[in-house]
Amino acid sequence: MAEMEKKPVIIDCDTGVDDALALLLCLKRLDVVGITAVGGNVGLAATQRNTRFVVETAGRMDVPVYAGYDRPMLVPLQDASEVHGAGGLGKVQVPEPKKPLEKQHAVDFLIDTYMARDDVTLITLAPLTNIAHALLKEPKLAKRIPEILCMGGSTVGGNATPAAEFNIFVDPEAAKIVFESGIPIRMVGLNLTRQQVVTREMGEKIAAIQNPAAQLAAQLCGDRNGKPGRDSFCDACAVMWLVEPSVITKSAKMHVTIETKGEFTRGMTVCDTRPFRANRPEVDIEREWLFEPLPKGKEPNVEVALELDQAKFDQALLAVMEEYSQS
């Protein structure tokens, strides 16, 4: 794939196990203009270090990495170190990377980049703290960011709480600012990512590929394999919508709002699925708009991913890891 054909993106992440695999996919197949780190899966000191480590492992020392905020807008950080390990990458030992951290703050990098160009898709794989702060500091960004591909939320319940997915739950106020910004959003939530499962066979196939990126990916697969309920690479599923679009086979536009005040539902992505409700128990919601809800809901503001092709995911993952041996 020629360099000029690659889609320009900025990635905002809290690099844990699944972010790392997503970064490896993007660094090979997309034009990564820069990467911003935020506190989430673990604290910022670890997420920015892990990000630099992955970039270095991918052989992409040219891609700048910026540190942003270490905590949500209004509440203390509740991390996911019980899932990703204290260092964020499971059992992977992360040395201090040679790749330096940029001195500029992530929010200022986002503002400077988007005020200069409006053709860069923003991929968010983390709590939306950095993005919300950028929008508050420079409101013009809402007209400059062409689209956001967001790993977060769910149409059918959460993992951080019964109602809320982790990335949205950590900073619901930030998510609310972003989702109400008017920027076109594609949301990849738990309802989609749970359709992808890491198998031992896949890990072994990747381990057989002799390059540093594939060896890291094999370690990441090993960390997730055999952990029911935690054996999906959520962030990798999300970036596949750009890396290999055929992996996402169904999506639907609906209105999504963020709950910030609920006693039991704080951080919930409240998806108006009323037009998609039917009587088939084998699907969460229908894939086509069936009828007007009564009372009529708000206009759709988010395109929500609904179905994933596991075989195509595996094919794309293997293909990218092989490509790291070719350059």
Token pair 């395109």 is at which residue?
303
Give the Cα separation of 274 and 286 in Å (integer): 10
Give the Cα separation of 247 and 154 in Å (integer): 18
Give the Cα separation of 124 and 187 in Å (integer): 10
Return the number of other C-beta atoms located less than 10 Å from residue 179's C-beta. Answer: 26
Cα 55 to chain centroid, rounded: 16
What integer pLDDT is reported at residue 129 of this predicted model?
98
What integer pLDDT is reported at residue 272 of this predicted model?
93
- Which residues are CB-neighbours of 298 under 8 A, at least 6 positions away? 255, 257, 272
Q: For residue 298, with 0-12 CB atoms within 10 Å meaning exposed, 13-18 middle and 19 or more buried, which class applies?
A: exposed
Return the number of other C-beta atoms located less than 10 Å from residue 30's C-beta. Answer: 19
What integer pLDDT is reported at residue 2 of this predicted model?
45
What integer pLDDT is reported at residue 276 of this predicted model?
86
What integer pLDDT is reported at residue 277 of this predicted model?
78
Low-confidence residues of the chain: pLDDT under 70: 1-4, 224-230, 293-295, 327
Closest CA to 48 of 91, 92, 89: 89
Q: What are the angstrom distances between the C-alpha of 229 and each of 159, 193, 204? A: 9, 11, 21
What integer pLDDT is reported at residue 226 of this predicted model?
65
What integer pLDDT is reported at residue 293 of this predicted model?
66
pTM score, whole prediction: 0.96
